[in-house]
Amino acid sequence: MVDRRTLFPAIAGLATGAMSLLRSKKAEAAAVAPQRVGFKGDVELRGSSARNERLPSLDLESQQDFLTGFRSWNQASFRTLAPKRMEQRLRERGLDPATDQPMKTILDIADNDAVLGLAAHTWLNCQYFSWKTIQDHFHADADRYFDELEAADKLGPGTLELHPDMKLPDHTKHEIHIMPGGYVGDPLGGYMYHYGTNNFYTGKNNKDELHTTYANSVPVPQDGVVKRVLDVGCTIGQLTVALKERFKDAEVWGIDAGGPMLRYAHMRAVDLGVDINLAQRLAEDMKFEDNSFDIVTSYILHHEMPAEISKQHIREAFRVLRPGGVFFPIDFYTGGNKPTTFAHQKYRHYWDMRWNNEVWWDEYAGLDLLGVMREAGFTSTEDGPPAWIGPKNLLGIKPA
């Protein structure tokens, strides 16, 4: 059995002090709502809605409903207002908004403008409060959720491979999206990630609709053979599960550096009765045998890692794919769109990187992903099937 509180000692010193915040509390006797597929030890305090278990308290659900609505309002209002404001300020300085302006000019405008500042400030604070309210609840009742994870650890269908003593590279330890503890630092991080990203998707992914759409977009090798599929950077396994539901006869794997993500992913897959294999491994060192997969895919992975690690991962993907196998990354700039020269969008990317901890945004924006795929040996094209953004997507085929 995995030790609940010493699961990831290598990163115990993260600034959030997430481990020290967890308070031991006896599980309270409570009537558990009817389970979906379920397992002994499954916690569903308020039942489920479609594929999601409802948040454990009405208070927390109300908070998240409000924050989701606030995020929707912010995006709808400021996505129209803020770009117009930036354009107005540029014209006031005698500058052409249609030309690529230096960041120094853009930041000078934004730093002295209440509308632009408010747009960023309200979005970021919504993000912060979404994480905080979720974390506060799950930490306050930590033992109940540790019990749930431990009950699922050894169950199937599917397998779970964790490495508590694994030396994690520094790039895996950043608190991406200002999520406390990041993907590796809070043992209950899987719960936080799931419900926090439900807020991010503004309620449009509560049945894993988006991940199912992406899984159904993944192309298959020309010979039609799909026996093994790999989802890299799988976090809580939503795409991994959707790939298994599409390729029912295939062996489907998901890997991630984040042990807390994988542990939650396994518990959720057990609860859904879906047979997937999850392993704590690095995208740049996957430790699978050569020529062993028919498909390697990922969702919004590459912009969350340094450019050099992306290059290493692409070489690894080439190595583990069999001849004729498909590499299909889904991310920003894989759908035919290019890094922006639009002043407000450059500003938004800046504060996303600076304040929302999207650490490698600039590196990713400057990465020729298609060129890297070709350098690795793929026959690559920009005309793959659509996935997330744009009417097409990057696609790599390992030559036969």
Q: Where are the domains of the chain?
A: 9-15+49-58+131-397
Report the CATH fold assignment for 9-15+49-58+131-397.
Answer: Rossmann fold (3.40.50)
What is the layout of strands, in order, in the sheet containing 251-256?
A: 159-161, 277-280, 251-256, 228-232, 293-299, 321-330, 393-397, 379-384
Instruction: Return d(Cα 176, Cα 165) in angstroms, integer.
Output: 22
Percent of the chain scoring above 70 in pLDDT: 91
The pTM score is 0.90
Beta pairing partners, 279: 161, 255
Which residue, chain included where needed, has tokens 């996303």? 352
Are 175 and 16 in contact by the 8 Å Cβ rule? The answer is yes
Are 331 and 365 in contact by the 8 Å Cβ rule? The answer is no
The DSSP symbol for 166 reads -
For the chain, the helix, strand and coil percentages under 3-state DSSP, each to the nearest 5: 45, 15, 40
- Which residues of the chain carry a pLDDT beneath 50? 1, 6, 8-35
The DSSP symbol for 51 reads T
Per-residue confidence (pLDDT) for residue 337, from 0 to 100: 78
Instruction: Return d(Cα 294, Cα 290) in angstroms, integer.
Output: 11
Are 321 and 228 in contact by the 8 Å Cβ rule? The answer is no
What are 150's two structure tokens?
A: 């431990």
- Is the previous residue joined to 157 through a cis bond, with omega within 30 degrees of 0? yes
Going by C-alpha positions, the residue among 304, 302, 282, 305 that lies closest to residue 373 is: 302
Per-residue confidence (pLDDT) for residue 32, from 0 to 100: 29
Per-residue confidence (pLDDT) for residue 5, from 0 to 100: 54
In degrees rounded to 5, what are phi and psi of residue 59?
-60, -50
How many residues are listed for the chain in this entry? 400
The DSSP symbol for 3 reads -
Are 56 and 211 in contact by the 8 Å Cβ rule? The answer is no
Per-residue confidence (pLDDT) for residue 339, from 0 to 100: 82
Are 371 and 195 in contact by the 8 Å Cβ rule? The answer is no
Are 48 and 60 in contact by the 8 Å Cβ rule? The answer is no
Per-residue confidence (pLDDT) for residue 267, from 0 to 100: 97
Are 51 and 207 in contact by the 8 Å Cβ rule? The answer is yes
Beta pairing partners, 280: 256
Helix, coil or strand: residue 280: strand
Q: What does pLDDT average to over the chain?
A: 90
